[in-house]
A and B are shown apart, each in its own frame.
Chain A
């Protein structure tokens, strides 16, 4: 596809008997932010490691900016900025020294390196602490420096592997704003996360990954349409649920009812309006509802719909 910065086809990786990534395909266009959304252990980091050329692939191809990537690639890696999941900085060096070292490593000429370091320090909000050793920074500041190193050399593709894990809300927001700004500036971004709200806020397209496979892919709207725009209503009960299943299924706004031990799961159109009548129906059937949980159609609901489990399971 013309204009794609990244094309990954048929990625596969096994560790012994465990298939960590199984036939993953996706692409990212220039200026597009693509999210890999999945729970821990879904295969996100393994996928990103193969795309980066850090991990040997058992199968598949990766092309970045028109150049194939492998573990022995050198020049092709220059087009990629990498922000690992764990903070990867040198604590006994200052922010400026950290940035300057990686700038040199990426072959940035000294004439532009200093200026670019200053720019990035401004972007990540560390300009006034640039001369302090990074071991003296707060967790959020370290996270921002972690990101700054990844975007220092002006990569065409920035890969962020769960960059907000363990970050306070203020720093998290700053990180998300940085990613939004980079995307607006035309940088292609691959963003892995298990936070549904981050994927919804940042990503133009999302790939939902679980057990090493991309279960579905598309824009938020396309993905939500998969669950029919219906709300998911969870009714917790103290009684047997079977007597209420039939009457609830007869309800015109209810598309699907699933009975579980002590609870009922309903797919409902317009849950806000229908809920009082649904509770009445349940009560008429002799089932007492102790709590109600309504999940509006979002990526969490899509993930639940596709995998049968919650993102944080």
Chain B
């Protein structure tokens, strides 16, 4: 162990001297976190999305009124949109959308209320502005949700009619629809619970950049093993009175120390400089340690399979960026669903960020166990493969 510590201290001195630790371990992650926070932070935090919707009620019935006044009114009251403008014709609303004055417009077709009351299929048309995909998507979601609810009501009425053998009177229908909609509350807008688990943009980008560069900076330790082999000093180390494994252990210790120091520095700097809120220090420390071990496992695996230090550095960079992207360090891949979402679940990055989200949501140490074990599993798998192959690097 003494020899491993000596090797690690020597490596750390080299890394400090060539400034690679400061550049890749502190300047790059903090700098990128600052840039992302400034560029994307206000958008991500929802501070400056300005959305205005239009509404055209061609139906004139009860359901059209409910949608325009109650549903869209509630959306406006909740601050999801900045304003709702009502138009008398489809053309008028479409003209406003085409100029960008509106992000999207809802068109409630004629016979909408009757269709609901009779149990027939109906829909609300959404006209979207081409340069406002987010606003259009929000509008489409509101309309889809509402239509889904009223179609459900229609189906319920149809069922009643079938059971009683005849359609109820118009007065009865209006009473039933009103009653059902009150019960089912077609659209609720309020604070989403999951939002409590989301990181603020400055924290998110600080954490995302920190964990991404963590997977890059650990190479400075383990790659040293290949560099020592290439420049001949590995034989010199192996000729010294110490166990061969001490060399590998020393390199791993270097990577571990560099990883922990880098993460600690980024956490401290972003907390004070960017206002990042990392959460419970103990929970963060546990997540950081798990992340460093996972990064170390991957790096050792890459070093074990690569033929040269240069090849290993390139592979580690590719893996580092790929895992960061899949893990949601740049954008929320979970929303993409499908294969991408599945792949993101094998990345330590995704679980690291999820663990921080849990901490931000008030979870304690026990609350991040669900995020910890996938990270440690990743470390075990990659580290295990590395252990098998790394023997060859220092093999006699």
Q: Which residues of A contact B (CB under 8 A)?
A: 49, 52-56, 71-78, 80, 82, 84, 86-93, 97, 101-102, 104-107, 149
Q: In the complex, are the beta carbons of A88 and B231 less than 8 A apart?
A: yes
Q: In the complex, are the beta carbons of A80 and B239 less than 8 A apart?
A: yes
Q: In the complex, are the beta carbons of A53 and B233 less than 8 A apart?
A: no
Q: 1/0 per position for B228-243, CB-CB distance to A under 8 A?
A: 0001110111111111
Leading 7 A-B pairs by shortest Cβ distance: A71-B396, A88-B232, A82-B239, A78-B241, A86-B232, A56-B396, A77-B241
What are 15 A-B pairs with beta-carbon distances under 8 A?
A49-B235, A53-B239, A72-B243, A73-B241, A74-B241, A74-B242, A82-B236, A84-B232, A90-B14, A92-B17, A93-B10, A97-B13, A102-B240, A105-B240, A106-B241
Taking the nearest CB of chain A, how far is it from the CB of B253, in angstroms? Answer: 15
* B244, CB-defined interface residue at 8 Å: yes
Q: In the complex, are the beta carbons of A101 and B242 less than 8 A apart?
A: no
* B18, CB-defined interface residue at 8 Å: yes
* B334, CB-defined interface residue at 8 Å: no
Q: In the complex, are the beta carbons of A84 and B235 less than 8 A apart?
A: yes
A10 to B30, CA, bound (A): 61
Q: In the complex, are the beta carbons of B233 and A90 less than 8 A apart?
A: yes
Q: Which of A49, A77, A92 contacts B18 (CB 8 A)?
A: A92
User: 4 additional contacts, CB 8 Å, given A87-B232, A93-B17?
Assistant: A86-B231, A92-B18, A105-B6, A105-B240
Check A101/B232 contact, CB under 8 A, given A52-B239, A54-B396, A80-B239: no
A229 to B110, CA, bound (A): 122
Taking the nearest CB of chain A, how far is it from the CB of B115, in angstroms? Answer: 78
* B3, CB-defined interface residue at 8 Å: yes
Q: In the complex, are the beta carbons of A101 and B396 less than 8 A apart?
A: no
Q: In the complex, are the beta carbons of A77 and B240 less than 8 A apart?
A: yes
Hey, which chain A residues are within 8 Å of B244, CB to CB? 71-72
Q: In the complex, are the beta carbons of B396 and A106 less than 8 A apart?
A: no
Hey, which chain A residues are within 8 Å of B241, CB to CB? 73-78, 106-107
Q: In the complex, are the beta carbons of A74 and B232 less than 8 A apart?
A: no
Q: In the complex, are the beta carbons of B243 and A74 less than 8 A apart?
A: yes
- Chain B residues 239-255 with CB under 8 Å of chain A are 239-244
Q: 1/0 per position for B1-34, CB-CB distance to A under 8 A?
A: 0010011001001100110000000000000000
Taking the nearest CB of chain B, how far is it from the CB of A163, in angstroms? Answer: 13
- Chain B residues 246-270 with CB under 8 Å of chain A are none
Nearest-neighbor residue (CB-CB) of A89 within chain B: B233
How many pairs of A and B residues are in contact by the CB < 8 Å rule? 67
Q: In the complex, are the beta carbons of A88 and B235 less than 8 A apart?
A: yes
Q: In the complex, are the beta carbons of A90 and B396 less than 8 A apart?
A: no
Taking the nearest CB of chain A, how far is it from the CB of B238, in angstroms? Answer: 6
A161 to B254, CA, bound (A): 31
Hey, which chain B residues are within 8 Å of A76, CB to CB? 241
A107 to B246, CA, bound (A): 14
Hey, which chain B residues are within 8 Å of A89, CB to CB? 233
Taking the nearest CB of chain A, how far is it from the CB of B190, in angstroms? Answer: 59
Nearest-neighbor residue (CB-CB) of B234 within chain A: A88
Q: In the complex, are the beta carbons of A93 and B239 less than 8 A apart?
A: no
A106 to B10, CA, bound (A): 14
Q: In the complex, are the beta carbons of A149 and B236 less than 8 A apart?
A: yes
Q: Which of A71, A84, A101 contacts B10 (CB 8 A)?
A: A101
Q: In the complex, are the beta carbons of B236 and A53 less than 8 A apart?
A: no
Q: Which of B7, B236, B396 contacts A84 (CB 8 A)?
A: B236
Which has the most chain B C-beta neighbours within 10 Å: A56, A90, A93?
A90
Hey, which chain B residues are within 8 Å of A88, CB to CB? 231-233, 235-236
Taking the nearest CB of chain A, how far is it from the CB of B75, in angstroms? Answer: 62
A87 to B235, CA, bound (A): 11
Hey, which chain A residues are within 8 Å of B232, CB to CB? 84, 86-88
Check A92/B14 contact, CB under 8 A, given A53-B396, A84-B232, A105-B3: yes
A76 to B396, CA, bound (A): 16
Taking the nearest CB of chain A, how far is it from the CB of B213, in angstroms? Answer: 22
A93 to B18, CA, bound (A): 10
Q: In the complex, are the beta carbons of B396 and A77 less than 8 A apart?
A: no
Taking the nearest CB of chain B, how far is it from the CB of A95, in angstroms? Answer: 14
Nearest-neighbor residue (CB-CB) of A86 within chain B: B232
Hey, which chain A residues are within 8 Å of B14, CB to CB? 90, 92-93
Taking the nearest CB of chain B, how far is it from the CB of A249, in angstroms? Answer: 52
Hey, which chain B residues are within 8 Å of A56, CB to CB? 396
Taking the nearest CB of chain A, how far is it from the CB of B67, in angstroms? Answer: 71
Hey, which chain B residues are within 8 Å of A80, CB to CB? 239
Taking the nearest CB of chain A, how far is it from the CB of B228, in angstroms? Answer: 9
A90 to B396, CA, bound (A): 22
A90 to B11, CA, bound (A): 10
Q: In the complex, are the beta carbons of B233 and A55 less than 8 A apart?
A: no
Q: In the complex, are the beta carbons of B396 and A102 less than 8 A apart?
A: no
A53 to B396, CA, bound (A): 8
Hey, which chain B residues are within 8 Å of A91, CB to CB? 231
Hey, which chain B residues are within 8 Å of A97, CB to CB? 13
Nearest-neighbor residue (CB-CB) of B239 within chain A: A82
A4 to B236, CA, bound (A): 24
Hey, which chain A residues are within 8 Å of B231, CB to CB? 86, 88, 91
Hey, which chain B residues are within 8 Å of A84, CB to CB? 232, 235-236
Taking the nearest CB of chain A, how far is it from the CB of B23, in angstroms? Answer: 15
Nearest-neighbor residue (CB-CB) of A80 within chain B: B239
Taking the nearest CB of chain A, how far is it from the CB of B11, in angstroms? Answer: 10
Q: In the complex, are the beta carbons of A104 and B6 less than 8 A apart?
A: yes
Hey, which chain A residues are within 8 Å of B13, CB to CB? 93, 97
A49 to B243, CA, bound (A): 16
Hey, which chain B residues are within 8 Å of A54, CB to CB? 235, 238-239, 396
A97 to B11, CA, bound (A): 12
Nearest-neighbor residue (CB-CB) of B240 within chain A: A105
Taking the nearest CB of chain A, how far is it from the CB of B321, in angstroms? Answer: 27
Taking the nearest CB of chain B, how far is it from the CB of A130, in angstroms? Answer: 16
Check A101/B240 contact, CB under 8 A, given A54-B396, A92-B14: no
Q: In the complex, are the beta carbons of B242 and A105 less than 8 A apart?
A: yes
A152 to B17, CA, bound (A): 25
A102 to B14, CA, bound (A): 15
Q: In the complex, are the beta carbons of B6 and A55 less than 8 A apart?
A: no
A86 to B18, CA, bound (A): 23
Hey, which chain B residues are within 8 Å of A90, CB to CB? 10, 14, 233
- Chain B residues 200-240 with CB under 8 Å of chain A are 231-233, 235-240
Nearest-neighbor residue (CB-CB) of B7 within chain A: A105
Hey, which chain A residues are within 8 Å of B18, CB to CB? 92
